[in-house]
Amino acid sequence: MANFTAPIVEAMRRYSADNVTPFHTPGHKHGRGAHEILRGLLTAQGLRQEVSLMDELDDLHAPHACIREAQELAARLWHADDCIFMVNGTTSAVQAMLLGTLKAGDAVIIPRNAHRSVIAGLILSGARPIFLPVEFDAQLNVPLNVTVEAVELAIKKFPQAKAVLLVSPNYYGVAADVAQISRLVHAAGMLLLVDEAHGAHLTFSDDLPLSAIESGADLAAQSTHKILGSLTQTSMLMIRRGIVDAESVKRAASLLQTTSPNQLLLASLDVARLQMEVDGRQLIQSAVELSKFLRASIKNLRGLRTFDAVKNFSLDATKLTVNVVGRGLSGHEAEEILRRDLRVQCELSDAANVLFLVTFADNAETCGKLIDALKNLPSRPPKILPPILPAPNEISVAELTPRETFHAPTEQVELRAAVGRICAEEVTFYPPGIPLLMPGEKISSTVVERLRSEKFSGSHIVGASDKNLSTIKVVR
């Protein structure tokens, strides 16, 4: 039965209406001491309710009242057994998944394009990563996902692994076959953890990939703020009880969350759940239909292509990737023109594409502005993109764990002198956005040559302390 209340919001309103004279945090005391600039950013009511740590407002670290009720309502709506509200972003949710399920020395199978929060979670837990190759669409310059076959091979090669972690869907909306992978993982006695940061909305449309929890995942970290209606920095960690130790995950989440959670952030999660409970399927389906309209319209625009489907994977249609190479532009150039001249801001750009997020906040007017802006992108002489070297396509294991690497003494050495040394940083080129080196991996001569070749291609270097890549950080 649907619940059309917001327990955290109601508790905040009751406390505010009680006319308490505050001698407690926060220092602005119901907004009376707030600077006029802050009062302009938040309403008087918002400042009055921006309190925490009062008993009737519950405790995020030991929820027993309104927070517990709100989390239970969210778990039920997203088909989970438990839900933890996260106010330190999905970064802390991903870290809690790893810290709450793995211990030092445990092996975990992860994709090479895992978010930096995964590496941080490995440092915290001490687990040893086994890296899976990620498929890549070279024609459109889009990273795909890990295949069922790659996961199956990794499980056979490393049966001692305790868990498999997926990133599904990825930033471009490409989802792995989580249901099939779940069956393989559980048959091997392993846990399935999913970084579902870009998939909090999947539950609410049959036209989208099946959500991780519904596909059999044991844990799923969701960025509620990315596509749904909560405030930036808020996320949910979904738990499916069975083989996972839910209490251990909750303890890990408590270690990673602030002891002074902002009540407005918690309330925004509560309201986002309420919004989805009342109108979720209608709202998300409207975004899907708008995305279909945009794709059909863009097909009629000269020199532009959309990323619509891919073999062996499913696609979240609300992630609209537009390839602009046919206009003689790079994705980065298109982003700058769209923002500076045409007043449209994309979510990201790469060497060949611009990515737009279509949400239930969009309508015919906003989509019309996007189409007009894309029409007005200039046409330039054909652009020849530098060849994209394939990302590592083998399953590999690091020499040191990320934790061992984090605590090891390091030094900068010339790139050519790094062969045989252990890398102490992540080195990624965009495109394709899949790390060539991870912390703890041994640096081969092949990788050095690839790095030397790639650094002159114009791709953006991420993770390396030396952005010119003349030197690289290694374990001393």
* 402 assigned to some structural domain: yes
The C-alpha angle 161, 163, 164, rounded to 5 degrees, equals 105
- The pLDDT, as a whole number, for residue 460 is 76
Task: Return the pLDDT at 297.
Answer: 97
CATH of residue 100: 3.40.640.10
Shared-domain flag, residues 242 and 255: yes
Tokens in use for 384?
């020849």
Do 150 and 292 belong together in one domain? no
- Answer yes or no: do 244 and 127 share one domain: yes
Verify that 71 and 46 share a domain, yes or no: no
CATH number, domain containing residue 468:
3.90.100.10
270 & 174 share domain: yes
Phi, psi (degrees; rounded to nearest 5) at 52: -160, 175
Q: What is the pLDDT along the chain (476 residues), one digit of tens a residue?
A: 566 789 999 999 998 888 888 888 888 998 889 889 988 988 888 888 888 777 889 999 999 999 999 999 999 999 999 999 999 999 999 999 999 999 999 999 999 989 889 999 999 999 999 999 999 888 888 889 999 999 999 999 999 999 999 999 999 999 999 999 999 999 999 999 999 999 999 999 999 999 999 999 999 999 999 999 999 999 999 999 999 999 999 999 999 999 999 999 999 999 999 999 999 999 999 999 999 999 999 999 999 999 987 888 999 999 999 999 999 999 999 999 999 999 999 999 988 999 999 999 999 999 999 999 999 999 999 877 666 656 677 899 999 999 999 999 999 999 999 999 999 999 987 656 778 899 999 999 988 888 887 766 556 788 899 988 899 999 99
Position 383 in a domain = no
Q: Helices 263-298 and 66-77 meet at what angle, rounded to 10?
A: 20
Closest CA to 203 of 151, 134, 272: 272
Q: Say if residue 90 is in the same domain as residue 188.
A: yes
**392 inside domain:** no
Residue 232: predicted pLDDT:
95
* 241 and 304 together in one domain: no
Residue 172 near residue 143 (C-beta atoms within 8 A): yes
Identify whether 230 is part of a domain: yes
Find the CATH number of the domain harbouring 292.
3.90.1150.10
Start-to-end CA distance of the chain, whole Å, equals: 60
Of the candidates 231, 258, 277, which is a domain's last residue? 277
Q: Domain boundary at 228, 257, 277, which?
A: 277
Quote the domain boundaries for residue 370. 278-375
Residue 380 lies in a domain: no
Round to whole Å and give the CA distance between 410 and 405: 9
Instruction: Check: CB of residue 93 under 8 Å from CB of residue 83.
Output: no
Cβ 111 vs Cβ 134: under 8 Å: yes
How far apart are alpha carbons 77 and 95 in whole angstroms? 24
SS3 388: coil
Judge if 67 and 211 occupy the same domain. yes
On whether both 23 and 70 belong to a single domain, the answer is no
Asked whether residue 393 is domain-assigned, the answer is no
Ordered alpha helix ranges (H), 54-177: 66-77, 89-99, 116-125, 148-157
Do 445 and 316 lie in one domain? The reply is no
For residues 230 and 271, the answer to whether their CB atoms sit within 8 Å is yes
Residue 385, in any domain of the structure: no
Say whether 275 sits in a helix, a strand or coil: helix
CB 342 within 8 A of CB 361: no
pLDDT at 431: 59
pLDDT at site 432: 65
Boundary of a domain, candidates 221, 256, 277 = 277
Residues 236 and 367 in one domain: no
For 453, list phi and psi in degrees, rounded to 5.
Answer: -70, -45
Q: Does residue 425 belong to any structural domain of this protein?
A: yes
Q: What local confidence, expressed as pLDDT, does residue 389 receive? A: 58
Q: Same domain, yes or no, for 245 and 158?
A: yes
Domain count, the chain: 4
What pLDDT was estimated at residue 467?
Answer: 87
Gap between the Cα atoms of 342 and 10, Å rounded = 42
Task: Return the SS3 of 260.
Answer: coil
